[in-house]
């Protein structure tokens, strides 16, 4: 007889809903601990989301790794090599015109 509690059967995980007001209060609390914010994560900076980059901290700077990534990206566009391969992605909601500009810059 099966009591419904066999292996592989799990109750769905309940994910709490967090309000915009709670997120903003958390960011304010985090920002209160810092005078300077060092961003060393380029990939986290390329999207508009609830990241620590949104914190209201008086001084924001790029870290060593991020500075190097931006420098290499700049060199790629200044001195492109052929052939060039690009994998362009993003969310469905992302602005397609931004991707077209990027593709144009790689082609011409």
102: nearest Cα among 80, 63, 23, 28: 80
- pLDDT score for 79: 82
How many residues does the structure list for the chain? 108
Q: What is the pLDDT of residue 41?
A: 79
CB 103 within 8 A of CB 88: yes
pLDDT tens-place string over residues 18-28: 888 998 898 89
Alpha helices by DSSP H, the chain: 20-31, 42-45, 64-78, 96-107
Residues 6+ apart with CB under 8 A from 90: 99
Is the overall model pTM greater than 0.85, yes or no? no
């Amino acid at each position: 007889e099966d009591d419904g509690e066999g292996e592989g059967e799990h109750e769905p995980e309940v994910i709490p809903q967090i309000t915009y007001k709670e997120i903003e209060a958390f960011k304010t609390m985090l920002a209160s601990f810092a005078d300077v914010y060092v961003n060393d994560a380029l990939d986290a900076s390329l999207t508009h989301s609830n990241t620590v980059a949104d914190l209201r901290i008086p001084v924001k700077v790029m870290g060593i790794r991020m500075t190097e990534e931006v420098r290499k990206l700049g060199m790629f566009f200044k001195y492109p090599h052929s052939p060039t391969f690009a994998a362009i992605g993003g969310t469905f909601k992302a602005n397609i015109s931004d991707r077209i500009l990027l593709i144009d810059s790689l082609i011409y």
